[in-house]
Amino acid sequence: MDAYFYIILVVGLLSTIICVTAGLLKKAPNDTTLLSVAAVELSLLVYLVGSIVRVASGERIAGEPWEFWGYMATALLLPIGAAYWAILERTRWSNFVLAAVGVTAVVMAARMNQIWY
C-alpha cells in the first residue's frame, strides 16, 4: 500500500464517521458533512495527480491501465454525485448517502492499489 491509499483511508473513514453521526443525530446535510465529502474528493484528486506524474515519469501499472483509470474516474464522480444529492434532498438520509462515499472511496483506492502493484 502506498501513501495515497493511507491518505484516502484516513480522510474517507473520518468523512464516514462525520456523516453517519450527523444522520444518527437526525441533522440535515450541512457544511461539515459536505466539506468532509469535499475532503474525500480532494484526496482523490491528489491521487489522480500523483498517478499521472508516476505514469509520465515512466512507472508502469502492473494491472490493466484501463481498469485503474476506470476506477479512478468512478471514484472521482462519487463525491460529486453524493453532494449533488445532499444539496437537492436536505434530509437526514442524505447524510447516509454522503457516508457511503468515504467507505466506497477507501474500497476503490484499495482496488486501485492492487491494480497498480
Domain ranges across the chain: 3-116
Non-local (6+) Cβ contacts of 50 within 8 A are 4
Q: In this prediction, what percent of the chain has a pLDDT beyond 90?
A: 97
Residue 1 has pLDDT above 90, yes or no: no
Query: How high does pLDDT run on average in the chain?
Result: 95
pLDDT of 96 strictly over 90: yes
Residue-level pLDDT at 2: 87
> How far is residue 80's CA from residue 78's CA, in Å, rounded to a whole number?
5
Q: 57: number of CA atoms within 13 Å, CB side?
A: 7
What tens digit of pLDDT does each residue of 38-62 get?
A: 999 999 999 999 999 999 999 999 9
Among 63, 40, 67, 50, which Cα is nearest to 2's? 50
